[in-house]
Structure 1
Amino acid sequence: MPGVNGFSPQEIAGLTSRAGIAKSHLRWGELIVKSFLGGVFISLGGLVDLIVLAGSPGLRSSNPGLATLIAGFTFPLGFVLITLTNMELCTSNMFVMPFTALQRKISILDMVKNLVVSYLANLCGCLFVAGFLGWWSDVFDTDTMSSYTVTQAENRVNVQWSVNLLRGVGCNFFVAMAFFLSIGAVEFVSKVYTIWIPVWAFVIAGYQHSIANYFLVPIGMFYGTNFGVGKFIYQSIIPVTIGNLIGGIVMASVPFWYLYGREEQVAPSVQTGQPVAEDEKVKKRGSRSPDSDDETVFSGQGSSSSGLRYDRTDMAQAA
Structure 2
Amino acid sequence: MASVNGFSPQGIADLTTKAGIAKTRLTWGKLAVKSFFGGVFISLGGLVNLIVLAGSPGLRESNPALAKLIAAFVFPMGFVLVTLTNMELCTSSLFVLPFTTLQRKTSVKATAKNLFVSYIGNVCGALFVAGVMAWWSNVLDTDTMTSYAVTQAEARVNVAWSVNFLRGIGCNFFVALAFFMSLGAVEYVSKICTIWVPIWAFVIAGYQHSIANYFMIPIGMFYGTNFGVGKFIYQSIIPVTLGNLVGGVVLGVLPFCRNRGAMR
The CA deviation at 1:263 is: 7.8
- Larger mean CA deviation between 248-257 and 228-237 belongs to 248-257
Which is higher, the Rg of structure 1 or of structure 2? 1
Question: For residue 188 of structure 2, what is the aligned residue in structure 1?
Answer: 188
TM-score where L is the length of structure 1: 0.81
Q: What is the alpha-carbon distance in structure 1 between the residues aligned to residue 114 and residue 66 of structure 2?
A: 38
In the aligned structure 2, how far is the partner of 1:148 from the partner of 1:261?
Answer: 48
Give the aligned partner of residue 92 of structure 2: 92
Q: Check whether the contact 1:13–1:261 (CA below 8 A) recurs between aligned residues.
A: no
Map of 2:122 onto structure 1: 122
1:25-36 paired onto structure 2 within 5 Å: 25-36=25-36
Give the distance between the partners of 1:27 and 1:111, measured in 2 at CA. 13
- Deviation (angstroms), 1:261: 4.0
| Superposition deviation, residue 259 in structure 1 | 3.6
Aligned to 1:249: 249
1:173 is aligned to: 173
Aligned length: 264
For 2:18, the equivalent position in structure 1 comes to: 18
Contact 2:72 2:200 in 1 (8 A): yes
Higher relative helix content:
2
Alpha-carbon distance in 2 for matches of 1:261, 1:232: 41
The answer to whether 1:218 aligns with 2:218 is yes
Q: Aligned letter for 1:195?
A: I
Instruction: Compute the TM-score of the two structures, normalised by the length of structure 2.
Output: 0.98
Q: Distance in 2 between matches of 1:3 and 1:253?
A: 25
CA contact (8 A) 1:103 1:261 kept: no
Whole-angstrom CA distance in 2 between matches of 1:137 and 1:263: 50
Deviations 1:190-224 (A, max 9, x none): 00000000000000000000000000000000000
The list of structure 1 runs, each at least 4 consecutive aligned residues, that deviate by more than 4 angstroms after superposition, is none
Q: What do residues 133-190 of structure 1 show as CA deviations (whole Å, max 9, x unaligned)?
A: 0000000010000000000000000000000000000000000000000000010000
Change (3 A) 1:261 1:115: farther
Structure 1: 5+ residue stretches without partners: 265-319
2:157 partner amino acid: V
Opposite residue 39 of structure 1, the aligned amino acid is G
Instruction: Compute the RMSD of aligned alpha carbons.
Output: 1.1
Residue identity (%): 73
Question: In structure 2, what is the equivalent of residue 306 of structure 1?
Answer: none
Q: Which residue does the alignment assign to 2:134? A: 134
Amino acid at match of 2:58: G
> Amino acid of the residue matched to residue 11 of structure 1?
G
